[in-house]
Structure 1
């Protein structure tokens, strides 16, 4: 049996939360994060994973709810904002997280460890807030009949 949108969103939200916890644990595991490449790599891999779970959640909702055909992750978050799933401010914050994820994945530039630390310490809450909001809305939306 194919999992429902709610089930898939719940799984992705759990994976996102786990990735955030791991990123923060790796960040906290050393007093010298700026020079500890092993902990940096482990933390940033989990930041990337958390971002990708949020992007997947957005794309799933956009597809299931037929909210258009966004060209990229930022556009998916903007579509959710236009249709009331999230507010415009959160969509903008998520767009910045997408940009950070792109720097990680595509290595457009060397990453300043202080920026990485700030993202891990403060900005990952944006992803957690997003997951909580969309999961709450999905759970409060009546299910389609079988």
Structure 2
């Protein structure tokens, strides 16, 4: 595993989180009515999930654990001692939002997107923190 690759991806993840924080309005109705905000928020949430998946699969490449799904990558990181159980579960659930955003964009529930943007960004923050702790312990 290339630690520098993971660190670069963690920086990208932080940028996505920051963009979502900056652009998420206080009310879901505002998000639902503003196409530009929708694009910024959804794109950055989608990127945050994908970057997290990329980090996970990069770490798992050095193990014998091969995920059969994107969501399973986070659960395998828990099994490998990289992530806590709670973070692994919350991150595996985030894949559902990514899949809807990529494949069924017109069916997005803006109340759900808004709730994720306001209340679940910490999932990505905790993911990054736990990966950094694991990296530091495996120098």
TM-score by length of 2: 0.90
Alignment counterpart, residue 109 of structure 2, candidates 108, 112, 133: 112
Q: Is 31-40 or 98-107 further displaced after alignment?
A: 31-40
The structure with more helix, counted as a fraction of residues: 2
Gap regions ≥5 residues in structure 1: none
| Contact in 2 for aligned 1:51/1:101 (Cα 8 Å) | yes
Corresponding residue SS for 1:86: coil
Root-mean-square deviation (CA, aligned residues, Å) is: 1.9
* 1:103-123 CA distance string (max 9 Å, x none): 101117611111111101111
| Aligned residue in 1 for 2:43 | 45
Q: TM-score, structure 1 length as denominator?
A: 0.86
Relative to structure 1, the CA distance from residue 10 to residue 81 in structure 2 (aligned partners, 3 Å threshold; closer, same or farther) is same
Q: Which has the larger radius of gyration?
A: 1
1:29 Cα offset (Å): 8.7
| d(CA) in 2 for partners of 1:93, 1:106 | 21
Residue 94 (structure 1) aligned with residue 91 (structure 2) = yes
